[in-house]
Amino acid sequence: MNAVPYIIDFEDLTMDMVPQVGGKNASLGEITRNLAAAGVRVPQGFAITAKAYRALIDEADLRDPLRSLFDGLDVNNRADLAYAGERARGWILNAAIPEAVEGGIREAYRAMCQRLGADVAVAVRSSATAEDLPDASFAGQQDTYLHVRGEENLLRAVHKCLASLFTDRAISYRAKRGFDHLDVALSVGVQQMVYADNGAAGVMFSIDTESGFEDAVFITAA
What value does the mean pLDDT take over residues 60-88? 96
Structure letter (DSSP) for residue 133: B
Distance separating alpha carbons of residues 132 and 144, to the nearest angstrom: 17
What value does the mean pLDDT take over residues 161-176? 93
Q: Per residue in 14-57, pLDDT tens?
A: 999 999 999 889 999 999 988 888 888 889 999 999 999 999 99
pLDDT for 172 equals: 93
Angle between helices 99-116 and 151-163 (to 10 degrees): 130
Determine the 3-state secondary structure of 209 from DSSP: coil
Q: Which of 103 and 31 is assigned the larger pLDDT?
A: 103
pLDDT for 137 equals: 58
Residue 171 identity = I
Distance separating alpha carbons of residues 60 and 43, to the nearest angstrom: 34
Query: Could you tell me which CATH class the domain 7-197 is placed in?
Result: alpha beta
193, β-bridge pairs:
none
Distances, alpha carbon 216 to alpha carbons 75, 132, 204, 207, 209, in Å: 38, 19, 10, 5, 10
| pLDDT band of 1, cuts 50, 70, 90 | very low
Distance separating alpha carbons of residues 174 and 118, to the nearest angstrom: 40
| pLDDT band of 140, cuts 50, 70, 90 | low
* Percentage above 90 pLDDT, the chain: 67
* Distance from the Cα of residue 96 to its chain's centroid: 18
pLDDT surpasses 60 at 136: no
16, β-bridge pairs:
none
Contact between 161 and 30 under an 8 Å Cβ cutoff? The reply is no
Classify residue 9 as left (phi > 0), alpha (psi -120 to 50) or beta: beta
Distance separating alpha carbons of residues 103 and 98, to the nearest angstrom: 9
Distance separating alpha carbons of residues 38 and 42, to the nearest angstrom: 11
221, β-bridge pairs:
202
Residue from 51, 24, 1, 220 nearest 132 by CA = 24
Residue from 35, 46, 8 nearest 125 by CA = 46
Structural domain spans, the chain: 7-197
